[in-house]
Structure 1
Amino acid sequence: VTSPPTMRLLLLLIAACLSQGAHGFYEEGSAVIDLDEKTFERDVMASDDSAWIIEFYAPWCGHCKALAPTYEKVAKNLEGLVKVGAVDCDKYPALAEKFGVRGFPTLKTFSPEKTYNPYTKKTAKMGVNVEGGRTAKALVDQALAALPNYVKNVTIASSATFLSDKDYPKAVLLSDKPAPPSLIKSLAVQFKGRMRFGMGPSTDEELAKLLGGVTEFPKLVVVPGDDASKAVVHTGKLKGAELSEFLAAHARKEKMEDPLASASAESSVQALSAEEFEALLKDKSSLYSVFFHQGGAVPATVEQLAKAFKMFKHKTFDCAKHAAVCKEQVVGTPPVLRLYMAEDKTEYEEFTGKSDCLEDCMDLDSMSDFVAESIPNLVVPITEQTWNAFLAPAYERPRVLLFSKKEEPTSLYKSVALNYKDILPFGIYPNPPKALKDQIGLKKIPQLLIFFSPNASAEAVQGMPYQGEFSFEAMTQVLDQFAAPFRDGFDPNNPSGKSSGKAASAPPSGPIPEITNKGEDSSYEKLCASKGGLCAVAFLDGSEGNKDKREEQLKALEDLRTKMHPSPFHMAWVDAVCHSDFAISFEVSQDRVPTVAVISPSKGRYVQHIGKFQVPEMESTLQGVLSGKKQTGPFSSANPLSERDCAEVHAEILAATTGGGSDEDDEIMREMMEEIKRKEAEAEGEDEDDSGSKKKKKKKKKKAK
């Protein structure tokens, strides 16, 4: 029989355990935000004013318990910059299922940006797995990488454009830093739609004079409209809460799209002339979507459609201006949407709007449905009998295979397959048998596997699981890397691709090429932007004093290139100290050197390696990009390389850091040092006098006793 005191103790222990279970690892008042299904949808998925890092954990998980103190530090360090959340997956298994959580703890970052999915008719965020180190610094760095950069570069030359639009307030940080700090990037996200953010160099004296006559830096200035004479200079500390309060007092109350962002945004849709339309009809290889209209502005939904279905080249054609051409092509009363998907462009699919409506019959959802339903099915059905035959040529050319519960491919999967028509073969294996799932380690379906050989041998064929979001943009971002070596063409009569022999080529040899300003052959355009696929650019210190370290780093890059072959990565390096403006395009500041950035010039996206400059860690970053684990961010364009001779730049830096001044400067420095030493000696003497007098007082007290 349990005695009353023992029973009381047992009840207290049970209550304590229940209390701990109620809040998981993170109690009320913690900087880590405890999320449930409702708050996850409201605060993470539906909100666009913050980036998140979220831990998916289980209370019984030992690794989760070990991570908890570190994660608390992360939350405190990111306060006001990135929100830090946690989900108890024992309580909310649906969230774990939704985001593909396969083990604990799983950490994901969520950017504030959303993507429209034409297949689900929803706009949603993509969760990206956090890879690499689990130290507080590593997690903070990866969380900050989820912040998009909405801060525009401002100079006196561009100030008139930046300050335009009298009804839209602006905030400008004047600083000597080359890139916007995380706090300003975070505030730009929080105030998106209510205020335009910019950053100008403190060396631009005319800009500082224009913006309130600022003479001390860094300083934040708000211009309520388009009149710089009404600039308001923030005089307090550059702290998150204080700045947020200052900006809120000047920001718009209601959100409105920034007119400058709308005007500068590059359109995905091109208006065709009669001659260009004639050329389109002769193009046998490309896929086209053409919106025929009767003059005036083209609906914004056409632009949205273009961003959703990126396998097409999206065009518009004005039948009011080119009536004869529209009549010849038997275009009915506009608006009309046509899809040209065959080699013979006299064949097309046509949409004239919903049949059961009287107005706005070409809404986005209706056009999306039409496009999705019109996409041809290029996906091959796979069975036990055809499984080996489908995969046999994978050592020469990658194969994409979806294991699914459904017999037919979805519109999304058909769209992705169409995007790689005549480049990559796609298959679907419905309800694979258990023996096969065990053989290839398939734990759940649907699962997409990319079968390829890293060394072009049949024995080395492996299936790489796609681990990203099931959306067109996310899937093609990964598959583009496997398709890049085969973009020159594909022979349907020889689907194995053996005639090209590209995948079986020997690994590249020789030194890693350097991006320089010394001619077209070594330019960024030649070594990266024009090559297609991805660039892995190393940002190194090119000074003479760093020569030995740099040679070690370049040797590591050569080893990485060999280990990754065959791959879509074009490797190069650049002197980031000399070409600092170019480096800042990819947010590589001097304190980040050496590092590597993976760049997709065609998509205008990049991701910076976070971690040590060592082959295993850099390989993990590159593989993360290929698998969809690594989140990329946008960049508008690469800043030009410095026109100066790099040797001169490094000589100036060396002189500045080693005291290469005049004799007069040296004398002043000596006098300053002597003055500092004299004051330190006086201070030490005063300390000794004080301690001596205290000892005397203590002795006197003893005698008095």
Structure 2
Amino acid sequence: LNAPPRWSCRVATLAMFLRLAASLCGVATSAVVIDAMKHDIQQIQAGSFDTIIGKFRDDAVSAVWYYKESNAADEKFLDEYQKVAKELKGIVKVCAMDCERFAKFCKDVGVGETPSVMIYPPNPQPSYALQGELTSKRITNVLTKSVPSMVTSLTADNEAAFLTSDPSKPKVILFSNKPKVPFMWRALSAEMVFKRTIKFGFATEEANAELAKKFKVKKFPTIVMQRGGKGEQKEMYSGDINFQAIHNWVNLYSESGMGDKVAGAAGGESGSDEAKPWLIQDIPELTGPSHN
């Protein structure tokens, strides 16, 4: 049976209403949703800013994306920023703050239009808003360049001093067939605890052939660790070459308080950090210090 004309009209009107409602609902639910299960971005609040970022400014590099939850441009930017967070996970703090919830804080730090990304390099460098196009590649590049390096590039002249000074600190060396210290190695050396308790070295196949032979390095890249007061313990790393895996391995030998100077018998600081090259010489040269 055909429906009466008035019912057909009502059905058409109802369908139009439902489409409109669905459309309106779509607009209303169009928002920035940072899901801890899907994203590597750390959400912060005005009250937690100092705890998460401020107190670590002396040691760490951080980024904060200031966004407005209902802003379509911010919703579109979410995936781009997630690429940064995923690539730098565990290395750089990649955070976000909602300026609709914390409007005063955003205003105080100078945020106007969003998306806005602020870079927080180590002190004394000031924080700044990244200008221009906000792409994941550009943001990642800026952050990686902001990470300081505590790596010693090894040469024939400084190898012995590196290996024998600070005997309480394990020495970790990356042997590479490339000339430049990679970002991952810089980031490990600058890690808040490692920078005080571990010494990181960088050796190349071309410049450090004898050192590579001493450590029985046959392929590049290879990572080795030397431990013990006389460098008697040597271990070759066999895990994955990525930040977190290497961090976990090095962390096994990083102890809080290592590398702190100890008072000597006369009350002054002991010379435990002085280089003692005779400890690794095949035939130690007899000197005053080596005789003691």
TM-score (normalizing by structure 1):
0.31
2:230 counterpart of 1:221? no
The percent of aligned pairs where both chains have the same amino acid is 23
In the alignment, the residues of structure 2 paired with residue 98 and residue 162 of structure 1 have an alpha-carbon distance, to the nearest angstrom, of 46
In the alignment, the residues of structure 2 paired with residue 230 and residue 256 of structure 1 have an alpha-carbon distance, to the nearest angstrom, of 18
What is the aligned partner in structure 2 of residue 44 from structure 1?
53
Q: 1:62–1:255: structure 2 CA closer, same or farther, 3 Å change rule? A: farther
What is the aligned partner in structure 2 of residue 445 from structure 1?
none
Kindly report which structure 2 residues correspond to 1:665-680, keeping only aligned pairs within 5 A, or say none.
none
Q: 1:91–1:180: structure 2 CA closer, same or farther, 3 Å change rule? A: same
User: Match of 1:56, SS?
Assistant: strand
How big is the shift at 1:131? Answer: 2.8
Question: Structure 2: which amino acid aligns with 1:182?
Answer: F
Residue among 33, 57, 73 paired with 2:67:
57
In 2, are the aligned partners of 1:53 and 1:85 still within 8 Å (CA)? yes
How big is the shift at 1:62? Answer: 2.9
Q: Which whole-Å deviations, capped at 9, do the CAs of 1:380-437 have from their partners, x for residues lacking one?
A: xxxxxxxxxxxxxxxxxxxxxxxxxxxxxxxxxxxxxxxxxxxxxxxxxxxxxxxxxx
2:97 counterpart of 1:87? yes
What is the aligned partner in structure 1 of residue 137 from structure 2?
137
How big is the shift at 1:72? Answer: 1.3
In 1, are the aligned partners of 2:168 and 2:258 still within 8 Å (CA)? no
Computed over aligned residues only, the root mean square deviation of the Cα atoms, in angstroms, reads: 2.8
- Once superposed, which parts of structure 1, at least 4 consecutive aligned residues long, lie more than 4 Å away? 255-259
In 1, are the aligned partners of 2:175 and 2:204 still within 8 Å (CA)? yes
Q: 1:198–1:103: structure 2 CA closer, same or farther, 3 Å change rule? A: same
What is the aligned partner in structure 2 of residue 703 from structure 1?
none
**Which sections of structure 2, spanning at least 5 residues, go unmatched?**
1-17, 263-267, 269-292
In 2, are the aligned partners of 1:132 and 1:138 still within 8 Å (CA)? no
How big is the shift at 1:98? Answer: 3.7
Q: 1:197–1:258: structure 2 CA closer, same or farther, 3 Å change rule? A: farther
Q: Which whole-Å deviations, capped at 9, do the CAs of 1:615-652 have from their partners, x for residues lacking one?
A: xxxxxxxxxxxxxxxxxxxxxxxxxxxxxxxxxxxxxx
In the alignment, the residues of structure 2 paired with residue 81 and residue 257 of structure 1 have an alpha-carbon distance, to the nearest angstrom, of 25
In the alignment, the residues of structure 2 paired with residue 129 and residue 148 of structure 1 have an alpha-carbon distance, to the nearest angstrom, of 20
Question: Structure 2: which amino acid aligns with 1:34?
Answer: Q
Q: 1:244–1:31: structure 2 CA closer, same or farther, 3 Å change rule? A: same
User: Match of 2:210, SS?
Assistant: helix
Larger radius of gyration: 1
2:37 counterpart of 1:34? no
In the alignment, the residues of structure 1 paired with residue 170 and residue 108 of structure 2 have an alpha-carbon distance, to the nearest angstrom, of 39
How big is the shift at 1:129? Answer: 2.1
Q: 1:202–1:98: structure 2 CA closer, same or farther, 3 Å change rule? A: farther
In the alignment, the residues of structure 2 paired with residue 157 and residue 82 of structure 1 have an alpha-carbon distance, to the nearest angstrom, of 34
Count of aligned residue pairs for this structure pair? 236
What is the aligned partner in structure 2 of residue 209 from structure 1?
213
Q: 1:106–1:256: structure 2 CA closer, same or farther, 3 Å change rule? A: farther
In 1, are the aligned partners of 2:175 and 2:212 still within 8 Å (CA)? yes
Q: Which whole-Å deviations, capped at 9, do the CAs of 1:245-270 have from their partners, x for residues lacking one?
A: 110011123365699xxxxxxxxxxx
In the alignment, the residues of structure 2 paired with residue 225 and residue 128 of structure 1 have an alpha-carbon distance, to the nearest angstrom, of 44
What is the aligned partner in structure 2 of residue 244 from structure 1?
247
Kindly report which structure 2 residues correspond to 1:562-601, keeping only aligned pairs within 5 A, or say none.
none
Greater relative CO, 1 or 2 (CA 8 Å, sep 6+): 2
User: Match of 1:193, SS?
Assistant: helix
Kindly report which structure 2 residues correspond to 1:523-562, keeping only aligned pairs within 5 A, or say none.
none
Kindly report which structure 2 residues correspond to 1:123-522, keeping only aligned pairs within 5 A, or say none.
126-163=126-163, 164-190=165-191, 191-203=194-206, 204-210=208-214, 212-225=215-228, 227-254=230-257
User: Match of 1:71, SS?
Assistant: helix
Question: Structure 1: which amino acid aligns with 2:138?
Answer: A
Q: Which whole-Å deviations, capped at 9, do the CAs of 1:565-586 have from their partners, x for residues lacking one?
A: xxxxxxxxxxxxxxxxxxxxxx
User: Match of 2:195, SS?
Assistant: coil
In the alignment, the residues of structure 2 paired with residue 107 and residue 94 of structure 1 have an alpha-carbon distance, to the nearest angstrom, of 17
In the alignment, the residues of structure 2 paired with residue 92 and residue 257 of structure 1 have an alpha-carbon distance, to the nearest angstrom, of 41
In the alignment, the residues of structure 2 paired with residue 37 and residue 81 of structure 1 have an alpha-carbon distance, to the nearest angstrom, of 23
Kindly report which structure 2 residues correspond to 1:617-636, keeping only aligned pairs within 5 A, or say none.
none
In the alignment, the residues of structure 2 paired with residue 177 and residue 40 of structure 1 have an alpha-carbon distance, to the nearest angstrom, of 39
In 2, are the aligned partners of 1:53 and 1:84 still within 8 Å (CA)? yes
TM-score (normalizing by structure 2):
0.71
User: Match of 1:46, SS?
Assistant: helix
User: Match of 2:150, SS?
Assistant: coil
Q: Which whole-Å deviations, capped at 9, do the CAs of 1:16-74 have from their partners, x for residues lacking one?
A: 94xx86xx431222111111124321121112554222211111333222211111122
In the alignment, the residues of structure 2 paired with residue 107 and residue 40 of structure 1 have an alpha-carbon distance, to the nearest angstrom, of 15
In the alignment, the residues of structure 2 paired with residue 50 and residue 258 of structure 1 have an alpha-carbon distance, to the nearest angstrom, of 24
Kindly report which structure 2 residues correspond to 1:107-118, keeping only aligned pairs within 5 A, or say none.
107-111=117-121, 113-115=122-124
In 2, are the aligned partners of 1:80 and 1:183 still within 8 Å (CA)? no
In 2, are the aligned partners of 1:171 and 1:220 still within 8 Å (CA)? yes
In 2, are the aligned partners of 1:169 and 1:252 still within 8 Å (CA)? no
In the alignment, the residues of structure 2 paired with residue 83 and residue 206 of structure 1 have an alpha-carbon distance, to the nearest angstrom, of 39
In 2, are the aligned partners of 1:222 and 1:250 still within 8 Å (CA)? no
In 2, are the aligned partners of 1:208 and 1:215 still within 8 Å (CA)? yes
How big is the shift at 1:194? Answer: 2.1
How big is the shift at 1:101? Answer: 1.6
In the alignment, the residues of structure 1 paired with residue 236 and residue 35 of structure 2 have an alpha-carbon distance, to the nearest angstrom, of 40
